[in-house]
Structure formats: C-alpha cells, structure tokens
Amino acid sequence: MERTNPEIHGFSAIPVREGHAHLCFEKPIEETVECFKNVLHHFNYSSININAIPVSHSATENYQTIYCKSVLAPKAFACAGPEYFLDGRDTAEEMLRQIKEYNAMGFDGIKMLDGKVSQYRITKYKLNDPLFSKFFAFAEENGIPVLMHVADPLRYWDYSKATPYTIEKGWVYGPEDPHIEELRRWIDDILSRYPKLKLVLAHFYFMSNELERAAKMFDTYENLCFDITPGGEMFVNFTADYQEARMFFEKYQDRIIYGTDMYNTFESPEKAEAEVSGPRVFQARSMLEKTEEFYSKLISDKPLKPFGFTGEILDKIYRKNFERLFGNTPKPLDFERIMSGYRKFMENHPDLNEVELHNMKVIGGYFEK
C-alpha cells in the first residue's frame, strides 16, 4: 500500500493545514484539481490554502482558485490576487472595489506578491502607495487576512552570489531596484497606519537571521504573523543560532504559520518526494519535529539541528494559528456574485490563450449550475 509523506518520514499525526499554495503552472483546470487532491492525500493535509497571483501568471488565476475551493470543499481556502490595468485605471477606489468584490464572492483572504522585486518591476506600485490605502483599511476593518511576499534573501541583491536559476528567473537585483530595506520600510509604513491588519509575511519575512528585529515587530503588532514557507536559508540560520531561534518559536508560537509554497505539479508520490514539494515539506516538518540532526542537500551540505517540538506548539503552527486568521472552515461562496464577475471578466479579456479559454469555459459552466 502506498505510504503517505508523514508515514514515510515518521512525522506527527497532528492535522496540518497547508497555508501557502499556488496554481501558477498553466494546465487544464481538471489536472490542477487532481494535483491538489493528491497533495491533500499524500501529505495528509486537512486543508490547503490556494493563492492567486494574476499579474505574474495567468489573468484567470482568481477564477481558477475559487473554482478549486468549491470543487475541493471543505478542504480548500482561497486567496484572491489584485488585478491591475497599468493604464491609469488603477485607483484607490478601484482597489477598494476589488477587495469588496473578492470578499463578497467568498474568497477567504488576499494574496499579494507586490513586495517581490520581480513583481514590482511589472506594476511599479509601492505597497505603501496611496493606491492601496482604502484596500488595506477595508482589510483591517473587516478582518481579512493578507498573505504577502515582501523582499527575498539578501543575497539576491549581490550578483556575485547569483545562481543560474536566480538569473533565469529574474531574481537578481541591482541599484535601479528597491533594496530589501526599502521594501521593509513600506511594510513598517503600512503597519503603522493599519496596526490591526491581519498580515502574514511569507518566508519568515526573510528575517530568520534577524530574530531580535522580528520580535520587536511581533511585540508591536498583535495580528502580524510569519509563515515558514522555505527559503532554505531560513533553516540554516535557525541552526546557526539555535538557542535564540528555538526560544523565539516558543515565545511567538501563536504567530507562526505552516506553509511550503505547494504548487499544482503533483504527478506521483515518488516524484513529489523527490522533487520540489516533498523536500520542502521534509525541510519544514523535520525542522519543527525531529529530535536528531538531519540533512537536506537542497539547502546545505551541513546538518540541520531541529527543534523537536511536540503537542500544543506543533498544533498551533500546523493548524490553530491559521484557523485564528482564516476561520475553522472556508467562507461560503456567492455563486451569483461569482458568475456576475465571471461575465465581466470574459468581456474584458478577449485575448485568453487556448488553455485559459478551456479553463474559463469549465469554470463558467460549473458555477452557472
């Protein structure tokens, strides 16, 4: 009988909510749904939070995401990504209209990649721009969680440390790009203006080697959380400063959310274990649970020292902290609202490619029923 990921690696049987997943690989929506069904089963997840990024990937991602939420119910949450016109129509009122509409449709939160330099190059919108003022105010007032990618590992600003992969992806930044500290100033500004915003900063905010600074943020903003989506440098840094890192997790155990950047790429359990998704789960769960040093060649050729957590702290990171922000169950969907938005979207996007048209036809037919 096929063994699941927790059985293979001896992980805890505590229910786990995957807080950070994407469907950014273009494929027929039926295959994407099947991928996430396999993810839920193989990794023994009680739910998965799928995040749309329509600007960086397909313009159809919001509709793909909410479709997956409906088909996979009640095991899927969905976060909508803002859409931009980039022609003068992007205004504070338009952004407010969007977040109100996403909320009414039944999205559970918002996903923003706008703090990643490669996305900023597309829009040129700073996160603390007045464009987002009403957007964030509405999210704060209505308790809508915002999962946000801000910055990248510091080495991405040093061309001498670039790898062929980061060069190919456009993730090597120069003096014409905002520096990591400028990106962080945007977040400081947002949090100072919207201090109760339910903000989740992905990839531990790339602060795994600045835990004192992270602690000050947590002490100041009661609804701020980090997720532990790898970034492999995170686990290397935790090992290098082990005692401080372990104490940080113990003190701020209510503010850390599990996630792995899972994608719609699951082909088989064997491939999942060998390729990107399996190793990321192995890294994150091993760091949290194991009691003896372990190796992950994708991160380092040196051993990593895990925290060996059990019981309540694991339950919070794996499940309860996500539930506190997003709820125990996904929000109900307003099918009429979704179909109204769908029709407007199709009118405004006559240039969809073959796969996008297929997916939207399937999605439209489903919600119309």
Helices and strands, counts by H and E, the chain: 17, 10
d(CA 221, CA 217): 6
Residues in Cβ contact with 130 at an 8 Å cutoff, skipping those fewer than 6 apart = 92
Beta bridge partners of 109: 79
Q: How does strand 109-115 pair with strand 146-150?
A: parallel
Q: What is the pLDDT of residue 227?
A: 98
pLDDT at 262: 94
For Cα atoms 181, 230, 116, give the angle at the middle one, nearest 5 degrees.
35
Secondary structure of residue 51 in the 3-state scheme = strand
For residue 235, the model assigns a pLDDT of 96
Q: What confidence tens digit (pLDDT) does each residue in 234-283 have?
A: 999 999 999 999 999 999 999 999 999 999 999 999 999 988 789 999 99
What is the pLDDT, as a whole number, of residue 8?
Answer: 95
How far apart are alpha carbons 232 and 241 in whole angstroms? 15
Q: Cα–Cα distance between 45 and 310 in angstroms, integer? A: 18
pLDDT at 1: 59
**Spatial distance between the Cα atoms of 256 and 348, rounded to a whole number of angstroms:** 39
Low-confidence ranges of the chain (pLDDT < 50): none
